[in-house]
A and B are shown apart, each in its own frame.
Chain A
Amino acid sequence: MSGASDRWNPIFLKELRQSLRGRVFGILFPTTVLAGVAVAITAMVDLHPRPIAGPDVLLPVLVVLGVAALGLVPFSAFQSMGGEWDDGTHDLLVLSHLSPGRIVLGKLLSAAVESVLYFAGFAPVLLFTFLLSGVDLRDLLFLIGALYAASIAMSAVALALAGLTRSRFWRVVLLAATAGLAFLALVLGYDLAETFVKRGRGLGTGHASEDVAATIGLILAFGTLFTAIASTRLAHPEDDRSGPVRWTVSGLLVALLAAVTTVGAGFMSSVPVFEVAALVGALAAAFAVFFVTEPERLPRRAAARVPRNAALAVLAAPFLPGGGRGVLWWLLQLAILAAWATAVAAWHGAGRARPWTPGTFGQWCAFQSYFLVYLAGFSLALGRVRERSYGPLAARLILPSVAVLSMVLPLLAGFLSGETNPIRDSILFPTGAMQREPHAPKSLVALVVGGVVLALNLPRLITSFAQVLAASARRRRPLPAPLERPTDAAHAG
């Protein structure tokens, strides 16, 4: 493995060598392929009196391949990342000249190769099901391609989750979470395959565009997001561990809006502007939980990369680590959403169910105020906790729990007291978005509460900008860092 491989990713070479030599793959691979063949034969035997149809054999075979591609391959990726902790090689890797991105890429590449081997092992069976006829070649190729891409995306998820913690206990929990996600992906994939090859809504029929877009979108989104998360987890704590994820999420949200706009304009009579703006805002809030709970300080390595130009530094601020800058990031996403909604409303019409008008814009703001209270309000209240080493994690658990409890508890209370519409009448402060008819007074309450929280956050937001500007200024005129020299006295203490 020298010579030609000289400049290959070392992690890739190592992982490949280990997994091919490892006993696990040597047992799992033949077992899985045999299971695929067995399932195909069983399906044909079951069908026996009736004529054998391709789809009836293809679907069970795809399930077995899906278990390998979405379960076994990510599992081995998870183990390889977890193994670096357990073998004590994690620190050695981090200390080498490999960048976190190259480490993650190497592991992803080896997952990709491992996955290819499974697909190659299944190729004869898949070809056979195709020859049975009844399956459109385009459908088959798309499903296989999507499953392969999903296998790599799922491996990225596994790498990111395995990289989160050194603790074996938590890693077992995270492995269970990975398995849950893989199962979900398998169910979704099965449904897609069934829709394509059995329900007659495949690629040839002209009904499949939305499914195709959603599939590709989901795979790409999960893949890129978790690749970004996996590599930031390997970065030095004084490095920017948040920015790459913020950029990725922003990019994905914009891509989502673009997709909705084109698909909506093409297939629906008009884009549901308000609903999309509300939902994407909520989605952004879910990600923002991670950003607003970071410590406020600008890490030293991140500070050393702030743009020298003050204006650029201000523009980049929402994408730099820090809780206050997390709030800025979220507000920026809302601004992008509002701009998008306004532009689409002007271009394609304001939507049917709830048109995008100045009045509903107020309702939308009221709806987002709800998130503002949790994101900006509670993260501010938890400020002292967040500066502790366990703080961000604690805040990340507390924030969503409070948000969910504050919805569930009134709901429960409303249910027990016999309310007819508990969600609408008992929620902390109901907003227009949850009601069929505009409900001006309550929306107003939400807006006022949101305004107060924002005002309370003002010092924090100003500090967030000030830190960035100070870092930028320091970069413009580099001073020798004042350092405390070690004392030359032989005795200390």
Chain B
Amino acid sequence: MAALEVCGITKRFGSLVAVDQASFAVEAGRITGFIGPNGAGKTTTMRIAATLDLPDEGDVLLDGVSVLDDPRGARRKLGFMPDAYGAYPSTTLWEYLDFYARAYDLHGALRRRRVEEVLEFTSLSALREKEMAVLSKGLKQRLCLAKTLLHDPSVLILDEPAAGLDPRARVELRELVRALAGMRKAILVSSHILTELAEMCDGIAVIEAGRIKATGSVHDVTRGIQTAVPVFVRVLEDADRLERALLELPGVERARREGQGLVFEHQGSPESLAGVLAALVAAGLRPVEFTPRAMGLEEVFLSLTEGKLQ
């Protein structure tokens, strides 16, 4: 059983169907990126999974506990980081964490230890007496993550955690999330910016206009839709000659100029691709670059959300 199971949820706001029969699952120890353009229904789905909103249809199971039938039970399994997380004025980091630790019914030495642990984990120990208000966005984000970890949840739902972070803070966040996955937590991270998630996720769920377009590991999703591999090639000779030679070869489709070389699309096995290179050499061309490009998340996403393949 997956740690987080979204089972056919639908949510309507008046006539707008914000989420339409969405289903996917996240296994323990895995990070799933929840990707879709703004307004696709990511936050709505996550808030339903976090017991904060109600679906019109369907249910979400956290470690097998239904968010509808047993929201309190589900909340014990759940760490949720909303896109706009709260801060209390004139409160220090330590007080903030201590307050939530109390709110999660941690008492005495256990509470103090948990607060120390999460401060340690998020490398915020040195800032414990600082007021929240003076923290940078990245540090606030880490504090909120620390708060989310206090009751040791098995499922983490992070809504756009990387939004607005500088590159360094983003790398730090990625390391933290990776470490959490190493602790066998199931993690769902949303973003509308793919590069934020590309290096972090084991799997992705792509959503557009409330519908799940694809789910699975990054590799599966990529392979599932990838029919033609773009290949960059540059030769010492004239690019026009290269283009003519290329288009006569089997498996080669469409070539376009890019910089000093060409990008063509190749359809077929790696052997056939090797054949293309050999044929170019045989035709008297001298290749200095020949680079098949794996489809990036960006391309995957674009091809999925346009509703067609390239």
Contacts and interface: CB of A to CB of B under 8 A. Distances in A.
B23 A95 contact: no
A483 B82 contact: no
Contacts of B99: 10, 13-14
A18 B23 contact: no
Given A2-B112, A486-B25, A490-B216, A95 B90 contact: no
A87 B50 CA distance: 19
A490 B82 contact: no
A93 interface: yes
Given A97-B104, A484-B8, A492-B213, A89 B78 contact: no
Interface in A291-345: 300-301, 304
Contacts of A400: none
Interface string A466-493: 0000000000000001011111001111
Interface in B1-39: 2, 5-8, 13-14, 21, 23-25
Contacts of A84: 86
Interface of A: 2, 6-7, 10-11, 13-14, 17-18, 21-22, 84, 87-98, 236-239, 300-301, 304, 388-389, 481, 483-487, 490-493
A238 B68 CA distance: 7
Contacts of A300: 68-69
B59 interface: yes
Contacts of B70: 304
Given A88-B84, A487-B23, 15 more contacts: A7-B107, A10-B102, A13-B102, A84-B86, A91-B86, A95-B75, A97-B75, A97-B151, A238-B71, A389-B13, A483-B7, A483-B61, A485-B7, A486-B24, A490-B216
A96 B103 contact: yes
A18 B91 contact: yes
Question: From DSSP, what is the main secondary structure of chain A's interface residues?
Answer: loop
17 contacts: A2-B98, A14-B88, A14-B95, A87-B87, A88-B86, A89-B86, A91-B80, A95-B75, A95-B78, A96-B104, A97-B151, A98-B103, A238-B54, A483-B66, A484-B58, A490-B216, A491-B213
Contacts of B13: 389
Interface string B45-60: 0000011101000110
Contact of B90 (A10, A21, A239, A486): A21
B211 interface: yes
A486 B68 contact: no
A168 to B, nearest CB: 14
Contacts of A481: 66, 69
B259 interface: no
The 7 closest A-B pairs by CB, nearest first: A89-B86, A10-B102, A88-B86, A96-B103, A486-B23, A490-B216, A87-B86
A22 B76 CA distance: 33
Interface of B: 2, 5-8, 13-14, 21, 23-25, 50-52, 54, 58-59, 61, 66, 68-71, 75-76, 78, 80, 82, 84-91, 95, 98-100, 102-105, 107-108, 111-112, 147, 151, 211-216, 220-221, 224
Contact of A236 (B51, B85, B111): B51
A253 B290 CA distance: 86
Contacts of B111: 6
Contacts of B213: 491-493
B133 to A, nearest CB: 11
A491 B214 contact: yes
Nearest to B52: A91
B147 A92 contact: yes
Given A18-B90, A87-B86, A91-B82, A236 B224 contact: no
A11 B59 CA distance: 31
Given A91-B82, A96-B104, A238-B68, A483 B214 contact: no
Contacts of B51: 95, 236
B52 A94 contact: yes
A91 B103 CA distance: 13
Contacts of B104: 96-97
Nearest to B96: A14
Which of B13, B88, B104, B112 has the largest count of A CB atoms less than 10 A from its CB?
A: B88
A304 B73 CA distance: 13
A484 B6 CA distance: 10
Nearest to A303: B69
Contacts of A484: 7-8, 23, 58
A95 B74 CA distance: 10
A2 B103 CA distance: 14
A84 B85 CA distance: 11
B220 A490 contact: yes
